[in-house]
Structure 1
Amino acid sequence: MTKMMRAARMYECGKPMELENLPVPSIRPTEVLVRVKACGIVPNLHNILTNWTTWFPHLPLPKLPAIFGLDPTGVVEEVGEQVYDFKPGDRVYVNPARHCGSCRACRAGNTTGCSAYTFNGYFGFTARSPQMFEHYPYGGLCEYMPAPQYSLVKLPDNMSFETAARLGYLGTAYRALKKANVGPGSTVLINGISGTLGLGAVALALAMGARKILGTARNEALFQRVKDLAAPGRIEIHNLGNGSIAQWTKEVTHGEGVDVVIDALGPGATFEPLVDALRSLHRSGHLVNIGAVAGDVPLDLHWIMDNDINVSGSAWFTTGQGQEMADMVESGVLDLSFFEHNVFPLEQVNQAISGIENRNGGFSNYVIAP
C-alpha cells in the first residue's frame, strides 16, 4: 500500500492553499527523506503568494499547483545508497538553495553563483529555475520531503526545530557579516535593526565579537528589547524619522563612522535610509544590502571611489555557513533564546500566513509544524 502524507498546495496566486493527501515521495541515491517537524513562514510569504508575478515577473515561481515552504527542519527518515554522512534519526535543517553542480560557478565552488540557482519551495533566480523546480517539487509545507545531502545542516540537541526554522533569515545576515569581515573590533550599523533580518544580524554580530552595534528602526516599543540583547551601551538605536542617520552615527562614534552597514530594509522601503547610512562609513567601509530595497538607488560613485567604499549585495548562505551557525548555537556563542515561537499546525497554514503581519518585529518566529 502506498504511504500517504498531508501537504499544503497552492493552485493560484492570491488564493488560499489547499490541504491534500499525496504519496510520500521517493528519494534518489544522493538524497535523504526528511520527516518535517517545523517549517518557517517568512514575513513576506503572503506577498510572494499574492503579488510575485506582478512585482517580480523575471523571478520564476514553481509551476502550480506547488508545495511551498522555505525553511524546513526535521528528522532523517531514510537515506539514499550514495549518502555518506547522514543516517536515519539525524536532526537536520534543509537549506533550500538548490544548485546544479555542473556549471562553471558550481565547479569553482561558488554554488550561490549557479546559473540555475533556485530556492526550493519559494522562487527562482534564473531562466533555468523552472527546470530545477521540476527536479525539486517539494517545499517544507508537507509531512515528508526529499533533500539532497549537500543541503543538510546537522542540528545540535540544544537547538529546537522551531529555532532552526529561522536559519534562512539568520544565514542571510551571517553571510553578509562574513562578506564584510565583521569580527572583534568592528563597528556595525544595521538599517532595520528590529526586523526579522535585522535582529538576526544583531545576534550574529554579537556572537562574532562586534565591538559596537548601531541600528535604525521605527518601532520604538522594541528599542529597549533589542538593546537588552547585549551589555549596556553596546547597542544604540536611532529612530528613522528623527533626522540624518549619518549625522547621528558620527556623533555616537565621535566622528569615526562605522566599519560596516548592513541594510536590512525590505522592498517596501524607500532608498533614502540606505543612501544616508552609506555616508556613515569611514574610509574603506563596506555596505551590504540584504533587505532588497527595490528600484533605482542614486549613488555618488565619485565619493565611493575616493573613499575606497565597498557596496555589495548578498544572497542567502551556503550549507557550510548554516553548519557554522548551528555549531555556534551548540557551543553557546550564539544565543537565540529571544525568539517567540508562534507554532501552527499544517491545517492552519493560511491563518498563519495571513496573520504574520501582526508579528512582534523580529522577535516573533512563525512556524508550521506538519
Structure 2
Amino acid sequence: MTIRDVLSDADERTNVQDADASLMRAARLHKKFEPLTIDLVPRPSPRASDVLVQVKACGIVPNVVNVLNYSLESVVSLPPLPAIFGLDAAGVVAAKGELVHGVEVGDRVYVNPIRYCGSCRYCRMGQHAGCEYSTLNGYFGMGSKALQMFQDYPYGGYAEYMTAPQYSLVKLPENVSFETAARWGYLGTAYAALRRASVDMSSTVLINGVSGTLGVGGVLFALALGVPKILGVGRDIELLERVKAIDPHRIHVHSTNSRISVAEWVRSHTDGCGADVVLDALPTGAPAEAFLAALDALGKCGRHVNCSGVLECVPINVPKYTVSSQTLIGSCWFTTAQGQEMAELAASGRVNLDVFENRGYALEDINTALAEVNERKGGFSNFVVLPDERRSK
C-alpha cells in the first residue's frame, strides 16, 4: 500500500485544531506504510544548551518516501514509532536555554539536522559522520548509537516547533527565504562534496546526475567557487537545457541517451584529458553502470567524490586508478560551518538560488505533498511544508 492509496483516509484524520498554547501540531508516523497523521503533542522546551525553533518551512526531499516506508531499514537506523520526521527545517528562534550565547530570540535560522556526541575522536576532528551517535534528525541514523540521538531530539521539522542544539544553527541572511533554506540539506551535501574534492578556479568538474536534486545544487555552488567549466550528465534533454541556461558559457551538458559515451564526450571537452573532478550526484537506487560511466571520464590525478544514492556494490579497477594517481572520496552531509559559508555566499550574491520553484503545502496537506513529490521538475522543484499555513477551506 502506498501513501497515495491511503491519502483519503489520512484526510479524515487531520482536522485537528490546537486549543492550548502548551500544545503544537505535528505530523507523525504511527505505523509503517500508513499515512502521517496530524496530532496534538506537547510543545517542547529547550534544555540549557538548546534552542526552540518555530518552524517556518521544512523540505520534502525525494528520498523521504523511501525513509517513511522503512525501505532503507537494512542500510540505516530509523526512529522508533510514533515519530516526527522532517529533515531540513528553517524558522525563527522562539526560546533558548540559559547556556546558549550568540543566538537571540527572533534570529532566522536553518537547523542542520546532523547530531553527534561532540566528545569522541571523530567529533574532536570535526568528522561528525564517524561518530557512533551520528544521526540526521527527523530522518535516519548512521551511527550504531543513533537511537540515543532520536531520544534526545525526537522532533523533526514536520511540526510547528522543534528543539535543536546550538551547534546546529546556521544564521540566514535576509535574501534567503525560509522556503529556499529548506533546501539547504541537499545544497549542503553537494557543496561539502565539492569542498572535499578541493575544486577551485582551475578545475573542470563533471557532475553526474546534473539535473537532479543534488546535481543542480552542485552546479550552483561550483559556479560560486569559480569553476570555469562544468560538464553535466543526465537523461532528460529539456532539464539539461535548463541547467545549461544557468550559465551557457561555463556549463556544457550531455544526455546519457546519446550514442556517444560519457567518457568520450568529456574528453572531447578537455583536450583528451578527462575531468579534474567528478561529483557523483545520482539519485537513490541509480545503477552501478551510471556511476562507472562517469568514473571512466575522470582524468589522471583526478578526484572522484561520491554523495550519490547508488546502493549496489560497484566494481573498481584498482590498477587503473592507482597508476593514474586518482582519488576516490566518499562525502556524507556537511558541517554547520559549511552551511554558514553557503549562507555567506548567498548574502554576497555569489550564488544565485532563484532557479528554484518553491511548492508549498500546509502541514495538514503533508500526505498530498509526499504523494506529489515525484512530480517534481528535476532538481528545480523545491517541495516544502509550511507549518504556519492552514489548509484553505
Would the TM-score normalized by the shorter structure come out above 0.5? yes
Indicate the residue corresponding to 1:16 in structure 2: 35
Asked whether the equivalents of residues 8 and 19 of structure 1 are also in contact (C-alpha less than 8 Å), the reply is yes
Report whether the alignment pairs 1:111 with 2:128.
Answer: yes
Indicate the residue corresponding to 1:38 in structure 2: 57
Report the CA distance between 1:275 and its aligned residue. Answer: 1.2
Question: Partner letter of residue 32 of structure 2?
Answer: C
Q: State the alpha-carbon separation in 1 of the partners of residues 169 and 85 from structure 2.
A: 18
Q: State the alpha-carbon separation in 2 of the partners of residues 328 and 61 from structure 1.
A: 33
Q: State the alpha-carbon separation in 2 of the partners of residues 270 and 108 from structure 1.
A: 34
Indicate the residue corresponding to 1:237 in structure 2: 253
Indicate the residue corresponding to 1:196 in structure 2: 213
The normalised TM-score by structure 1 is 0.97
Where in structure 2 are there 5+ consecutive unaligned residues?
Answer: 1-19, 388-393
Report whether the alignment pairs 1:177 with 2:194.
Answer: yes
Indicate the residue corresponding to 1:254 in structure 2: 271
Q: 1:70 aligns with which of 79, 87, 95?
A: 87
Report whether the alignment pairs 1:25 with 2:44.
Answer: yes
* More off after superposition, 220-229 vs 66-75: 220-229
Q: Superposition pairs for residues 81-230 of structure 1, below 5 Å?
A: 81-230=98-247
Question: Partner letter of residue 239 of structure 1?
Answer: S
SS at structure 2 position matched to 1:356: helix
SS at structure 2 position matched to 1:69: coil
Report the CA distance between 1:309 and its aligned residue. Answer: 0.5
Q: State the alpha-carbon separation in 2 of the partners of residues 197 and 215 from structure 1.
A: 12
Question: Partner letter of residue 321 of structure 1?
Answer: Q
Q: CA RMSD in A?
A: 1.1
Q: State the alpha-carbon separation in 2 of the partners of residues 368 and 138 from structure 1.
A: 15
Asked whether the equivalents of residues 343 and 366 of structure 1 are also in contact (C-alpha less than 8 Å), the reply is yes
1:69-127 Cα deviation digits (max 9, x unpaired): 00000000011100011010000000000001121211233223212100000000122
Indicate the residue corresponding to 1:80 in structure 2: 97
Q: State the alpha-carbon separation in 1 of the partners of residues 134 and 218 from structure 2.
A: 24
* More off after superposition, 157-166 vs 277-286: 277-286
SS at structure 1 position matched to 2:334: coil
Report the CA distance between 1:274 and its aligned residue. Answer: 1.5
Asked whether the equivalents of residues 305 and 330 of structure 2 are also in contact (C-alpha less than 8 Å), the reply is yes
Report the CA distance between 1:313 and its aligned residue. Answer: 1.0
Question: Partner letter of residue 287 of structure 1?
Answer: H
Q: State the alpha-carbon separation in 2 of the partners of residues 89 and 148 from structure 1.
A: 16
SS at structure 2 position matched to 1:302: helix
1:12-50 Cα deviation digits (max 9, x unpaired): 122100001111101110011000000000011111111
Q: State the alpha-carbon separation in 2 of the partners of residues 276 and 109 from structure 1.
A: 33
Report the CA distance between 1:51 and its aligned residue. Answer: 4.1
* More off after superposition, 6-15 vs 102-111: 102-111
Report the CA distance between 1:225 and its aligned residue. Answer: 1.1
Q: State the alpha-carbon separation in 2 of the partners of residues 240 and 58 from structure 1.
A: 28
Question: Partner letter of residue 359 of structure 2?
Answer: N
Q: State the alpha-carbon separation in 2 of the partners of residues 282 and 360 from structure 1.
A: 32
Q: State the alpha-carbon separation in 1 of the partners of residues 27 and 296 from structure 2.
A: 46
> Per the alignment, do residues 290 and 58 of structure 1 end up closer, same or farther by CA in structure 2, a change over 3 Å counting?
closer
Asked whether the equivalents of residues 95 and 168 of structure 1 are also in contact (C-alpha less than 8 Å), the reply is yes
Question: Partner letter of residue 253 of structure 2?
Answer: I
Q: State the alpha-carbon separation in 1 of the partners of residues 100 and 111 from structure 2.
A: 15
Asked whether the equivalents of residues 273 and 300 of structure 2 are also in contact (C-alpha less than 8 Å), the reply is no
Q: State the alpha-carbon separation in 1 of the partners of residues 156 and 136 from structure 2.
A: 9
Q: State the alpha-carbon separation in 2 of the partners of residues 50 and 187 from structure 1.
A: 39
Q: State the alpha-carbon separation in 1 of the partners of residues 129 and 141 from structure 2.
A: 12
Asked whether the equivalents of residues 256 and 262 of structure 2 are also in contact (C-alpha less than 8 Å), the reply is yes
Indicate the residue corresponding to 2:6 in structure 1: none
1:111-148 Cα deviation digits (max 9, x unpaired): 23212100000000122011110111000000011110
Question: Partner letter of residue 61 of structure 2?
Answer: V
SS at structure 2 position matched to 1:228: helix
Asked whether the equivalents of residues 98 and 117 of structure 1 are also in contact (C-alpha less than 8 Å), the reply is yes
Indicate the residue corresponding to 1:310 in structure 2: 327
Q: State the alpha-carbon separation in 1 of the partners of residues 28 and 39 from structure 2.
A: 7
Indicate the residue corresponding to 1:338 in structure 2: 355
Indicate the residue corresponding to 2:4 in structure 1: none
- Aligned residue pair count: 367
Asked whether the equivalents of residues 212 and 283 of structure 2 are also in contact (C-alpha less than 8 Å), the reply is no
The normalised TM-score by structure 2 is 0.92
Report whether the alignment pairs 1:49 with 2:68.
Answer: yes
Report the CA distance between 1:300 and its aligned residue. Answer: 0.3
Asked whether the equivalents of residues 287 and 312 of structure 1 are also in contact (C-alpha less than 8 Å), the reply is yes
* More off after superposition, 314-323 vs 103-112: 103-112
